[in-house]
A and B are shown apart, each in its own frame.
Chain A
Amino acid sequence: MPKQIAIYGKGGIGKSTTTSNLSAALSDLGYSVMQIGCDPKNDSTTTLRKGKSIPTVLDTVRKRSSDLDELVHEGYNGIYCIEAGGPEPGVGCAGRGIIAAIELLNTNGVIDEYDPDIIIYDVLGDVVCGGFAMPIRKGIADQVYTVTSSDYMAIYAVNNLFKGILKYSNNGGALLGGVIGNSIKSSLQEDMIKDFTDKTDSDVIQFVPRSPTVTRCELDGVTTIEGAPDSEQAEVYRNLARKVIDNKNKFLPTPFDNDDLSDWASGWINKLLVNEKIEKDNIQEGSSGI
């Protein structure tokens, strides 16, 4: 049985970047990897494919095609890339699209045929409806990871995801493998995310610093692993890959109530603001003022 993980995160937080780098790093470590983008934008796997997009599962539904060979496309180092796809913005139901795509992949032996060691679902972060919770449900992913920055709304989305995990946990759904802290610029941001995981009975698996190398590679249409394999950032992703392989943790998180979350966050945001001002003005807190 392949290891199946789902990676969630608020839109724009670096979820697909992290996922693709993780896939690339795992592939470099010798694992056979399949990455399934579960976002109607269908841009999860583009950096594994030199910036080129691929036809989606729902494109075949749209064309009423039964040719399932069009679904899987090889990317960097032989990674199997799949995009679920979805409707045009503003029409139809993207959530149902995710459900239909995953059902189609699972019931037609598409995944079995390729027999990967690891399957990674890259899922739109706000678990807005049942469709986007599909990978958490029983029989799909074993572990869920979530990518977040220290931004309040990103943590808010993580908290919502935790609620989703909790809901499905009674019915054999996936549990949390860990939180990936992304776009980290200061140790205080790490502290904030760490404090959130402490308070919610979860844990951070890896902090990923903010790096212009990542952006450079993205613009070139490649992952950092491929575009800058010798960089420090690539090593961070390789570390993450090793940890994911070894990680047997399955946390049952205890999410905040919404009011409690904002109370908790406001203390941290004040600290971050003070910290930012100190860095900007280049002054030391509690200095003599001389």
Chain B
Amino acid sequence: MTCKKALENKSGILTNVENFERDSVEAPRYSCALAGVYGTTLGIRGGIPILHSGAGCGVGQLFGTLYAGGESAGGNEGGTSTPCSCLVEEHVILGGEEKLRNLIESTIEIANDDLFVVTSGCVPSLIGDDVDQVVDEFRDKAAVIHVNAPGFKANSLEGYNLFWDAIIDQLLPDDAGDIEEKTVNIFGIVPYNHVYWKGDLLTIKTLLESIGIKANIIFTQKNGLDHINRIPSAEYNIVVNPWLGVRAVEKLKEKYGTPFIKFPNVPIGAKQTAEFLRKVGEKLSVPSQTVEEFINQKEDWNYRLMEYPGDAIILVRPNSFYAVAAESSYAIGFTKFLANELGYLPDIIQITDNPPVEVRNEILDEIKNNLDTVVEPDVVFEADTYKIRKNLEDRPFLFLFSSSIESPTSIEDYNALHIPISYPIYNKSVLVKHYAGYDGGLTLVEDIVSSFVGPL
């Protein structure tokens, strides 16, 4: 059955938002809950995962999460260096608590890290190892938390939420202490699973600094545990995702009363960035003059830069149809940028991260209500790679923004130029490249134009 048949018209947009049912999934664009906790932990400098699982869980995620996140290795704490209890049959039958106890003890002794994230996979969850009790024995020796993340429980993106649940419930103090004005924490960007996480987070930090706000982006920062400990003292929390990190900011509001600002996506390009800065500035009482001066200065140069590739776009690929297949936040951001800043025409938007039912309409509305175009795209929730590909057949799009899975055959299958923007990305080494902010939007323009100009 092609997806088109299952789509229903909802306020002018064809979508399966009400009837998306998932049974089996071929090559999903996410991994398991353990993988999400693992990647998130490795995003924290000074954080070390301690996997309580079979050996394959860690090695699998070297390929399934780390390399898939823009060919990134795991550093000293990840990949084949990952501490793992490597459970075998003996532990399944007799319990694996003793082996875990030894592993935590030796890891704390050997590793030069500050935060120890014990992550339970499928085996201990099935046999009922009392991991909390084992971890309790070490809480006075080091900053150690337990994240119960069996792979069958949820996907890797939800693993990010589980990680924050554990940090907030087990590590952060009951009292916030003194609140530091003009400071925010950033949530909603998942290390590795959001492939451009490093650059995007640093860009958001720099942008906010420009209007006098100190952003605690936690990941990528030296001494990550210090940044985690600073979370309660923020004046605001900011989440840039419709569902990832949302539970964390709600929990922090409940625990410390910290208000939060929710954005559906990471801001991409000048328009979204200006909107982001204005809203944050307003909430944190930054003088609007400061914000507007910064925006004007950035937009001046941004739009001059946009003129350079303007001829190529207008002469070679003007007003092109495009298709997006990406996780919620980035799908929203890219779709809006391409329509509202390049004048491209959205054909089909596929949301691939399997967001919870209760936020799907929110995602649909965000796309539907914020496109400055006469063309209304189909918005499809789909995690299965075969079905994602089927949904792309017989459509007019000339550009496909998705994972590297589609890279080799995009021209052959759809006659579309391919830009890899979402997990997994195996065909790019991603270090500083990002799509957030002013430079991010311009980088996307570079990628698009570079895909069809030249060589002579």
Contact = CB atoms under 8 A, between A and B. Distances in A.
Given A92-B127, A96-B127, A87 B89 contact: no
A128 B56 CA distance: 28
Interface stretch (B90-98, B207-215, B283-291, B364-372): B90-98
A62 B126 contact: no
B89 A58 contact: no
Given A91-B129, A96-B127, A86 B90 contact: no
A96 B89 contact: yes
A15 B127 CA distance: 26
Contact of B92 (A64, A88, A96): A96
A58 B126 CA distance: 19
A205 interface: no
Interface of B: 89-95, 97, 126-130
Interface string A89-109: 001111011001000000000
Contacts of A96: 89, 92-93, 127
A91 B90 contact: no
| Residue from B92, B128, B130 whose CB has the most chain A CB atoms within 10 Å | B92
A93 B127 CA distance: 5
A86 B92 CA distance: 11
A39 to B, nearest CB: 14
B90 A61 contact: yes
Contacts of A100: 89, 93
Given A97-B93, A100-B89, 17 more contacts: A58-B93, A61-B90, A64-B90, A87-B93, A91-B94, A91-B127, A91-B129, A91-B130, A92-B91, A92-B92, A92-B93, A92-B127, A93-B126, A93-B128, A96-B89, A96-B93, A100-B93
Contacts, number: 42
Contacts of A61: 89-90, 93-94
Contacts of B92: 92-93, 96
A31 to B, nearest CB: 32
Nearest to B123: A93
Contacts of A58: 93-94
Contacts of B129: 91
B149 to A, nearest CB: 19
27 contacts: A58-B94, A61-B89, A61-B90, A61-B93, A61-B94, A62-B90, A62-B94, A87-B93, A87-B95, A88-B94, A91-B94, A91-B127, A91-B130, A92-B91, A92-B92, A92-B95, A92-B127, A93-B92, A93-B93, A93-B126, A93-B127, A93-B128, A96-B93, A96-B127, A97-B93, A97-B94, A100-B89
Interface in A26-75: 58, 61-62, 64
Interface residues of A, number: 14
Nearest to B127: A93
A253 B128 CA distance: 33
Nearest to A98: B93
Nearest to B129: A91
Contacts of A93: 92-93, 126-128
A43 B426 CA distance: 56
A86 B95 CA distance: 10
A106 to B, nearest CB: 15
B99 to A, nearest CB: 12
A267 to B, nearest CB: 39
Nearest to B89: A100
Contacts of A97: 93-94
Nearest to A97: B93
| Residue from A88, A96, A100 whose CB has the most chain B CB atoms within 10 Å | A96
Nearest to B91: A92
A91 B97 contact: yes
A254 B389 CA distance: 46
B345 to A, nearest CB: 54
A87 B94 CA distance: 5
B93 to A, nearest CB: 4
Contacts of B90: 61-62, 64
Contacts of A86: 93
Nearest to B96: A92
Contacts of A87: 93-95
B123 to A, nearest CB: 9
10 A-B pairs with least C-beta separation: A91-B95, A92-B95, A93-B127, A97-B93, A92-B94, A87-B94, A96-B92, A96-B93, A92-B93, A93-B92
| Residue from A62, A91, A97, A100 whose CB has the most chain B CB atoms within 10 Å | A91
Interface in A109-134: none
Nearest to A62: B94
A62 B126 CA distance: 20
Contacts of B93: 58, 61, 86-87, 92-94, 96-97, 100
B362 to A, nearest CB: 40
Nearest to B130: A91
A66 to B, nearest CB: 13
Contacts of A62: 90, 94
Given A58-B94, A62-B94, A91 B89 contact: no
